[in-house]
Amino acid sequence: MLNVVTHGTRTGTAPLLIAHGLFGSARNWGVIAKRLSDEREVRAVDMRNHGESPWQDTHTYTDMADDLAAAIDGTHDVLGHSMGGKAAMVLALTRPDLVRKLIVADISPVVYGHTQMPMIEAMRSLDLARIETRGDADRQLQSVVQEDGVRAFLLQSLDVKSRRWRLNLEALAQEMDKIIGFPDIDGQFDGPVLFLSGSHSDYVRREHRDRIRSHFPNAVFAKIPGAGHWLHAEKPREFEAAIRAFLKHGHKT
């Protein structure tokens, strides 16, 4: 079973389940999850091979959707970012009975050409035996990951005290083609769906819309100005407002 971090309490409104992206964790979503829990229970999960959830040899979207289904009791609204968004889409397509409304943050149901292997190689390059503090790890990573924000994000998954990554880097590397892909899947989810993307990101393109609507005929699209792929971290207030509006009204207002 996935590790679940719960915020708030059950109300008459459907709980919100949050599925993070690659190299992320439930803890990355703590601030937004806590704020959204003023109106409903919000449950953020650690995906398999991430955070405090079990490590598995496989990392397919079918597996991840099954994991999410097992974490749901009753109907939930579901929010997924990037890898978590793909898992949430597969959940909605295979178990529509579990999903009331779906929010897909900055990802499409398509195969992407980029790979995240350089990030895995960067984390593998860390000499864990020489790390006493997070600052030590940050200095080691600087030569291979120049962006301060990316290093800070990756290092959230480093358990400094135990000198280990909370990421199953071997399985993620082995399954990278599946992570950047999308399963050949039939089916439709007829409920309300919001594809929310950053205006500076190219993950959700206009040419993806026919594919999206073939699976999600009631999809609506919105962009957060000035945000990139990490829209929830870059523009948290605007992201939160868009989520609230969609969950309340079914579309972004």
Is 7 a catalytic site residue?
Answer: no
What is the extent of the structural domain holding 185? Answer: 4-112+180-249
Count up the domains in the chain and report the number.
2
Give CA separation, 7 vs 11, 33, 178, in Å.
12, 7, 31
- If one counts every other C-beta atom within 10 angstroms of the C-beta of residue 12, the result is 5
Q: Which among 125, 132, 170, 251 is annotated as catalytic?
A: 170
Same domain, yes or no: 187 and 161: no
Same domain, yes or no: 76 and 107: yes
Q: Which among 25, 37, 53, 82 is annotated as catalytic?
A: 82
CATH of the domain at 26: 3.40.50.1820
Same domain, yes or no: 153 and 57: no
Same domain, yes or no: 91 and 125: no
Is 20 a catalytic site residue?
Answer: no
Spatial separation of the C-alpha atoms in residues 74 and 94, rounded to whole Å: 15
Radius of gyration of the chain from its Cα atoms, rounded to whole angstroms: 18
Is 208 a catalytic site residue?
Answer: no
- CA 147 from chain center: how many Å? 21
Same domain, yes or no: 49 and 140: no
Please state the pTM of the whole predicted model: 0.96
Same domain, yes or no: 185 and 152: no
Same domain, yes or no: 38 and 101: yes
Show pLDDT as tens, one digit a residue, over the chain (253 residues): 999 999 999 999 999 999 999 999 999 999 999 999 999 999 999 999 999 999 999 999 999 999 999 999 999 999 999 999 999 999 999 999 999 999 999 999 999 998 999 999 999 999 999 999 999 999 999 999 999 989 999 999 999 999 999 999 999 999 999 999 999 999 999 999 999 999 999 999 999 999 999 999 999 999 999 999 999 999 999 999 999 999 998 754 3
Spatial CB neighbours of 124, under 8 Å, sequence gap ≥ 6: 169
